[in-house]
Amino acid sequence: SYLGLSMRKEVIEAEEEGTKNFGVGPGAVRFISGTHKAHIDLEKRLAKFHGRESAMLFSSAYVTSMGVIFPLITNETVIISDELNHNCIINAMKLSRPALKLIYKHNSMEDLEAKLQEAVGKGKRCIVVTDGVFSMRGDFCPFDKFTAICRKYNDKFEEGVTTVADDSHGVGAYGKTGRGTEEVTGAKVDILIGTLGKSYGVNGGYVVASKAVTEFLRQTAPMYIYSNPITVGEAYAVLKVLDILESEEGIKRLAHLAEITARFEKGLVDNGFETIAGPHPVTPLMVRDTKKTADIVAWLTKNGVLATAMNYPVVPKGDEEIRFQINADHTAADIDYVINVLKSFK
């Protein structure tokens, strides 16, 4: 809940209004009788927010990634993926049967290009997929370099190279206007996946792309065809969050979030802790030891601080960390308190 809006009075009232008028659930999948005007309005709003032709709602961001990637892959498709991509991308690849699967080193554009070179001649289409923001680390894919490299190889494949990014932690969380990694890097991918369950604080996932892509996915994505959508009340709530995000208040909340994130990161570094630098409000404390990670989290909990221990196999051995997630309701005093609690750990 990076924007700190899930408990906002007007957001709750919007969801209550939708629920009162249309009930607690959609009652069916989209193509039967589960599509309401609020779903269509929200899809149009999300497409416009991201500067795309079309958007498509799913029940969660996890199933969005699976529902987008799986139908796009045939036995004549090569898929190339960052080694630290989210579990939903990994499982989408496992579900698929590509001609070739290649993994490049995390955020290494040199290795990405090497894998593209290796893929030439191995399939008609190449799909390159990455996280926008990597949820365990708070770092992000350099979309500008990423898309430029992929474009170089577009004419090497009969059906071209398609770039796909899951920016669930990025959308609404950073960038001056909350457009996430695309805004931060100044470059757009072909297909962008987002969530309604993090910055927006509600529930559900979505994809924005060309109309041709979304029309194809509505006919081929089993996670969409056979699952109920988010409720009408949830759609109302997201529409209200977008109203706030696109207002002057939204810009101020994003600026405050960026400021206190930088304050926390500086506090860690100034006191001798290891972190991964970046503007995103996921700020990891790299501990690199399982027992010490658990001990620090216990100390934080005892002192009223909620933070998440990330141990193997959630992260690779040697990358054990504590993941802190800042939101726009936090104050400078909150940040300073957490730093002082960490300093007092024995």
From 169, 240, 280, 330, the catalytic residue: 169
From 59, 96, 135, 199, the catalytic residue: 135
Distance between CA atoms of residues 32 and 28, nearest Å: 6
Active site residue 115: no
Burial class (CB in 10 A: 0-12, 13-18, 19+), 170: buried
Backbone angles phi, psi at 93, to 5 degrees: -70, -35
Active site residue 135: yes
From 86, 198, 280, 330, the catalytic residue: 198
SS3 string, the chain, reads: CCCCCCCCHHHHHHHHHHHHHHCCCCCCCHHHHHCCHHHHHHHHHHHHHCCCCEEEEECCHHHHHHHHHHHHCCCCEEEEEECCCCHHHHHHHHHCCCCEEEEECCCCHHHHHHHHHHHCCCCCEEEEEEECECCCCCCECCHHHHHHHHHHCHHHCCCCEEEEEECCCCCCCCCCCCCCHHHHHCCCCCEEEEECCCCCCCCCEEEEECHHHHHHHHHHCHHHHCCCCCCHHHHHHHHHHHHHHCCHHHHHHHHHHHHHHHHHHHHHHHCCCCCCCCCCCEEEEECCCHHHHHHHHHHHHHCCCCCEEECCCCCCCCCCEEEEECCCCCCHHHHHHHHHHHHCCC
Active site residue 169: yes
Residues known to be catalytic: 135, 169, 198
